[in-house]
Amino acid sequence: MSENSPVVGILALQGDVREHQLALAGCGMCSTLVRRREELAEVDALILPGGESTTMARLLVTFDLMEPLRARLIEGMPAYGSCAGLILLSREILDGRPDQRQLPVLDVVVRRNAFGRQVASFEADLNFVGVSGGPVRAVFIRAPWVEQAGSGVEVLARVPEVPAAGSAAGRIVAIRQGPVLATSFHPELTGDRRVHQLFCEMVQESRGVQVSARTCR
Ligand code: GLN
């Protein structure tokens, strides 16, 4: 782990890695790609990007990262999972594959592809607890939602109860449990950096340093 400025790793096995890199850069946060155990050991926090959760889980095993990552998460490393990342971090997956592996640090039950299958994408403006400056535009792509959340889980956003939302109305789509943040949607795709900013603040809090005091190595 770094001694000076925190470094956020982005799990770079599959998925929209580049978009998270740009979002972190937009927040003034140092980032690095993580594909190997040694790289994981060097980071202060990790983003698990959107992509395909069963593929990512398989690659975590192939790259010998599943157990070290689980250990870092249990130790309290801050993490942010978007979409497939949320699925990987959840205790239980509905509509998952029978052999699907995960890193169960979030006390939630998620439903994969909950908004519909294959082509289904959906957008909505969400009120997001802890994010000021108006609603967050959320892009959902074959997204999961959270069907059940344990008492230690803070619900940060739900799909608005509007007719266009159909069966998604009121569903939980952003949560936090301790140092772990997760969203069903992809803030890295919209250019709005506020959700990444929230995560960067969580990373700073866990390190007890000020954003302005940092310099990237
Ligand atoms: N449906 C994908 C999965 O099950 C997640 C989609 C995404 O990350 N955009 O992993």
> What domains does the chain contain, in order, with CATH numbers?
7-206 (3.40.50.880)
pLDDT tens per residue across span 6-41: 999 999 999 999 999 999 999 999 999 999 999 999
Residue 202 CA to ligand 1 centre (angstroms) = 24
Annotated catalytic, 92? no
pLDDT at residue 211, as a whole number: 47
Mean pLDDT lowest among 28-32, 98-102, 194-198, 209-213: 209-213
Pocket test for ligand 1, best of 100, 142, 186 (most atoms within 8 A of CB): 142
Distance CA 206, CA 44 (A): 9
Distance CA 134, CA 30 (A): 27
* CA angle at 59 for the pair 53 and 62, rounded to the nearest 5°: 150
pLDDT tens per residue across span 100-123: 788 989 999 999 999 876 456 889
Residue 1 pLDDT level (bands cut at 50, 70, 90): low
Distance CA 36, CA 15 (A): 16
Annotated catalytic, 83? yes
Residue 216 pLDDT level (bands cut at 50, 70, 90): low
pLDDT tens per residue across span 48-80: 999 999 999 999 999 999 999 999 999 999 999
Going by alpha carbons, the residue nearest to atom 5 of ligand 1 is 84
Residue 7: which residues within 8 A CB-CB, separation 6 or more?
30, 31, 32, 42, 43, 44, 45, 216, 217
Residue 101 CA to ligand 1 centre (angstroms) = 14
Average pLDDT, integer, range 117-130: 84
- Cβ(34)–Cβ(10) under 8 Å? yes
Question: pTM score, two decimals?
Answer: 0.93
pLDDT at residue 117, as a whole number: 60
Q: Is 114 in the pocket of ligand 1 (CB under 6 A)?
A: no
pLDDT at residue 116, as a whole number: 76
Q: Is 51 in the pocket of ligand 1 (CB under 6 A)?
A: yes
pLDDT tens per residue across span 79-103: 999 999 999 999 999 998 887 788 9
pLDDT at residue 115, as a whole number: 86
Position in ligand 1 atom list of the atom nearest CA 112:
4
Helices (H), the chain: 17-26, 37-42, 53-62, 66-75, 84-89, 194-207
Annotated catalytic, 186? yes
